[in-house]
A and B are shown apart, each in its own frame.
Chain A
Amino acid sequence: DIQMTQSPSTLSASVGDRVTITCRASQSVNNWLAWYQQKPGKAPKLLIYKTSNLENGVPSRFSGSGSGTEFTLTISYLQAEDFATYYCQHYNNYLFPFGQGTKLEIK
């Protein structure tokens, strides 16, 4: 099975910063990758699907890119409400492996 690994595990940043979270697959994969945001005590929320497609209602400061084994989520201008944990997830062969998560903290 494909494993997804995110880096960093924790990221400290300030409002207004541009940040990038990386998700690496254990082998080359197609672009069937999604990103989710989860705030404490809440359910995950879909941000991006198929690597770079923004879900309806998600602010345009979020963007995704990548191919092969490396994918990224970028937040271009951090807002206070963006501090949360982010998960990548791939879809392949009927399975949905998640990354271990990246916690975005206020510096």
Chain B
Amino acid sequence: QVTMRESGPALVKPTQTLTLTCTFSGFSLTTSGMCVGWVRQPPGKALEWLARIDWDDDEFYTTSLKTRLAISKDTSKNQVVVTMSNVDPMDTATYYCTRIRYLSRAERYYYMDVWGEGTTVTVSS
């Protein structure tokens, strides 16, 4: 059974760096085709994909936030960490980590098949 769990601070001050950790089980991030991503959802608003890290260490970021985001993995701990620098109250949201996988080696279509419960982050002074 695949599980994803997010952890991190509930409250962060503006201009600080937010660090969130995803701890997962039931799969290995060294297996070809396996990835972990982050998605956020401001209160009452839509989902927004943020970042993804792949089994082969490739990293991808949403265009609008790529200068503020960094994603990394620790395969020995089954953890993925995302940092967001210079946070603003607009970054207040629930942050989800997701397992992302591709359909096959021949068809590199990626989709999010397992989600964590999410962690709520408020940016406020």
Asked if B109 and A32 sit within 8 Å, CB to CB, the answer is: yes
B residues in contact (CB < 8 Å) with A: 37, 39, 46-49, 52, 60, 62-63, 96, 103, 109-118
Q: Please, how many angstroms separate the alpha-carbon atoms of A100 and B42 in the complex?
A: 12
Q: Which residues of A contact B47 (CB under 8 A)?
A: 36, 38, 44, 87, 89, 98, 101
Complex Cα distance, B117 from A55, in Å, reads 19
Main secondary structure on A side of the interface with B: loop
Interfacial residues, chain A to chain B (CB-CB below 8 A): 1, 32, 34, 36, 38, 42-46, 49-50, 55, 87, 89, 91, 94-101
The 3 residue pairs across chains A and B that have the minimum distance between CB atoms: A96-B49, A43-B115, A94-B60
**A46 with B112, Cβ < 8 A, contacts A1-B63, A95-B62, A96-B37 known:** yes
- Residues of chain B lying within 8 A (CB to CB) of residue A95: 49, 60, 62-63
Provide the residues of chain B in CB contact with A45, threshold 8 Å.
115
Q: Which residues from chain B contact A34 at a C-beta distance below 8 Å?
A: 111-112
